[in-house]
Amino acid sequence: MPILVIAIVAVVIVSSLVTGFAVYYLATPPAVGPVPVQVIGPWAGSEWSKFKPVLDKFKTVTGIPYQYTTSRQEDLTPTLPISFQAQQSPADVIFMPSATIKQYATRGWVTELTTTLSPSSYQPGALDPLTVSGKIWGGAYTGKVKPGFWYNVSYFNANGFQAPTTWAGFVSLLWALKNKTGQAPILAGDGVGWPLSDVTEHFIATYGGAAMHQALAQRTLAWTDAKVQAVFQNYLVPTLQNGFWTQPLTWNDPAVLASWWGGTTPPTHPLYFMGSWITGMVPNPNDLGVFSLPGGASTQGIVFAADYFFVPKYGLHQDLGKRLAAFLGSEAAQEEQVKQGGHIATAAGVPASAYPTVDARVAGLLQGKVVLADLDDTIGNPFQGKFWSELQKLWATPAQWQTILAEIQAAAVAQP
């Protein structure tokens, strides 16, 4: 009997130990390192290789690891609302368009960043597309500028042409180029009405000023207003009527490079209005020159297509998301990004020396100007499609500019 009792006790003890160890190891996960911040962005391939150094720097500075996932914004558009409605989020920081972020904010899906990001640390106006009633709902990262007219520096130098500093000088340059080539001096890029829309916005932001551009984007100013009509009548329309623009050509058509940039023969249309991504379209970007429309209003704007990000309310690690958001909006992060080429900072304080040569010229055009969000992107469809088609009509029949402005205004009023 004593032996039996001892055996039973031994079994109980061993069973308890086994159960205890099992419960411990099942209930307690193995030790791991710091929790990574989850990031979703649109960049893959070579674009991701240029963004990776920024996240690597964040990890080095903060000790916080990251996990990056590539996903196109159009793929996220139908899936994110489903996740948020279930009070879940696939990441702690997500890159999406500013209009989408503000829409999400109205539904309570976005973490406010008013105390995380400060407008004073940015270029003027950079956070405006993400600000509602004084509250900031997302951050602006680097982006692409739509600065003005690009040209081949070697061609200009060889023929004694110079970038203009006044409107009269601009018109004189257009006549001189037209007389030299016997062709329209400005190549008009198109597709579906874009980038004719970018050209139009540049005229408005320069000669109507940043306030006019912002008011049109917010639909608080009519396209038929006398001040808006004056910009068209005195500046844009005369360039069309004088034959300074080609017939619109798809903006990235192979013929663009030959007719604008030149090659074995000089360019036939030496000026081209395009965004700063044009640096990837030419064989020698260091030979690129660019100038904005000269003269204009005292407070001008320049359209900047930034990449925007937000911190979802339902992210598992909102604290980490906020830390990364603050870093992405900082001079340190954006200086690292612009070094890679092809990006322009929204953060203040990024030195010109950080940019490759051609990007430094573009960044210089931002100085002293209000950063503006793309007008038709801000309003969206169906206005955007109507705006594009009416501008195609304007390039074809500039004498009808007043009727065209009336049609654009009707579309703005009808926009939900």
pLDDT in tens, 251-305: 988 889 899 998 778 999 999 999 988 888 888 888 999 999 999 999 999 998 8
Q: What is the pLDDT of residue 29?
A: 53
Give the other-Cβ count within 10 Å of 43's Cβ. 15
Q: Domain ranges for the chain, please list them.
A: 37-144+306-371, 148-303+374-414
Minimal CA–CA distance to 270: which of 201, 166, 364, 182? 182
Is there a common fold for 37-144+306-371 and 148-303+374-414?
Answer: yes
Query: What is the rounded CA–CA span in Å between residue 206 and residue 296?
Result: 5
Nearest CA to 192 out of 387, 407, 379 is that of 387
Q: What CATH code would you report for 148-303+374-414?
A: 3.40.190.10
The pLDDT of residue 400 is 98
Regions of the chain short of the pLDDT cut 70: 1-32
Give the model's pLDDT for residue 236.
98
Q: Rounded to an integer, what distance in angstroms lies between the CA atom of residue 214 and that of residue 211?
A: 5
Write down the pTM of the prediction.
0.76
pLDDT digits (tens, 9 = 90+) for 10-52: 444 445 444 444 444 445 455 467 999 999 999 999 889 999 9
pLDDT of residue 8: 47
**What sign for the dihedral angle of Cα 80, 81, 83, 89?**
positive
Distance separating alpha carbons of residues 172 and 367, to the nearest angstrom: 26
pLDDT for the residue 280: 80
Q: What is the C-alpha to C-alpha distance for residues 141 and 349, in angstroms, rounded to an integer?
A: 14
pLDDT in tens, 169-178: 999 999 999 9
d(C-alpha 195, C-alpha 274), whole Å: 7
CA dist list (Å): 350 to 116, 204, 323, 358, 360 = 19, 28, 20, 15, 10
**Residue 171 vs residues 174, 178, 365: alpha-carbon distances, Å:** 5, 11, 20
Residues facing residue 139 across a β-bridge? 309
Check: CB of residue 226 under 8 Å from CB of residue 399.
no
CA 289 to chain centre: 21
> What superfamily would CATH give domain 37-144+306-371?
Periplasmic binding protein-like II (3.40.190.10)
Residue-level pLDDT at 23: 45
Cβ(130)–Cβ(263) below 8 Å: no
